[in-house]
Structure 1
Amino acid sequence: MSTSAAVSVSIRRFEARDTDAVIALWQEAFPEYRDATKPQRNPRLSIANKLATQPELFFVAVLDERVVGSVMGGYDGHRGWLYSLAVDESLRRHGIGSRLVAHVEAALTALGCSKLNLQVLSAKSEVRAFYEALGYRADAVVSLGKRLGELADSSAG
């Protein structure tokens, strides 16, 4: 496929009818979403939670009426977050991921967000390289996490 694929991709807000396509995309892009021993990686729960909190910051890329990418953003009034960027494996390296990132950056900027954070698993150097090519840099911080509620006893990850 040529890079013209990115030109014909449209980006719009996630709709409920996109659920199965987004889950399939995430399970391809994030193998941990297929791991039943990690209840914190339940894609249906992730989608439901996003639809309950800032659903206007959940976007999909569509090519010929098929969902080929997704990204979620979040903003708490202090800083923004970028989550779950995924592009169909057969269409990677055609600018779709970059367009999704630019789209969520623009939406967050319009809300007054001046700092955007994201996390990349340390083992995924190719993903880190993608974000670095878009201008993201490692902050001199340590990311800490704690599971709450039903997942409090789950292992990290």
Structure 2
Amino acid sequence: MSITIRTFTEADTEAVLALWLDAFPEYNDASRPHRNPRLSIANKLGTQPELFFVAEQDGDGEQPTLVGTVMAGYDGHRGWLYSLAVAPPARRHGLGTRLVRHAEAALAALGCLKLNLQVLSDKPDVLAFYDALGYRADAVVSLGKRLAVMEPAAS
């Protein structure tokens, strides 16, 4: 399988949405408005778009097919990984590992020394994947708070 990993472009949007809706069933849950994949893409394009990567599989003379994604972020203190997804036919060929290593290298080049990620607790296969890559549970409690979208102030 010939794979190219490159930076996301807006032309990739529909293919990424299709992949994410397949890979992340929670994106189909209307009761979770914070899981809006179109908004995730728009937000990433506004913040470190150079850390949004896609993987394409060569199409034997046809258009390449988008088969993977990973987003990374770095705040100057810690890095984060988000939205690692691999299309089902491309799984078990090392593509997820390649995407993670690509994001790790990009973050390391920015001076990032510590990388975090979160995995839903009901996904033991995903936890096992990251464990095999050397990721370990930190002795911390992950806290979160949903913020309402703020309307611009009237002028």
TM-score by length of 2: 0.92
Q: 1:25 is matched with which residue?
A: 19
Q: 1:154 is matched with which residue?
A: none
**In structure 2, C-alpha distance between the alignment counterparts of 1:18 and 1:66, rounded to whole Å:** 10
> Does 1 or 2 have the higher relative contact order (CA < 8 Å, sep 6+)?
1
**In structure 1, C-alpha distance between the alignment counterparts of 2:33 and 2:16, rounded to whole Å:** 18
What's the offset of the Cα at 1:150? 2.9
Q: Does 1:106 align with 2:105?
A: yes
Q: Does 1:75 align with 2:74?
A: yes
- One-letter code of the match for 1:100? L
Percent pairwise identity: 72
Unaligned ranges ≥5, structure 1: 152-157
Q: Deviations over 1:73-107 (max 9, x none)?
A: 00000000000000001111101100000000000
Trace 1:1-157 onto structure 2 (pairs within 5 A): 5=1, 8-64=2-58, 65-150=64-149
SS at match of 1:150: coil
- One-letter code of the match for 2:118? Q
**In structure 1, C-alpha distance between the alignment counterparts of 2:131 and 2:137, rounded to whole Å:** 9
SS at match of 2:85: strand
- One-letter code of the match for 1:18? D
Unaligned ranges ≥5, structure 2: 59-63, 151-155
**In structure 2, C-alpha distance between the alignment counterparts of 1:21 and 1:34, rounded to whole Å:** 16
What's the offset of the Cα at 1:39? 0.8
**In structure 2, C-alpha distance between the alignment counterparts of 1:90 and 1:63, rounded to whole Å:** 11
- One-letter code of the match for 2:85? A
Greater helix share, structure number? 1
Runs of 4+ in 1 over 2 A off after TM superposition: none
- One-letter code of the match for 1:121? L
Q: Alignment RMSD, CA only?
A: 1.0
- Find the structure with the greater CA-based Rg: 2
What's the offset of the Cα at 1:38? 1.1
- One-letter code of the match for 1:49? N
Greater strand share, structure number? 2
SS at match of 1:71: strand
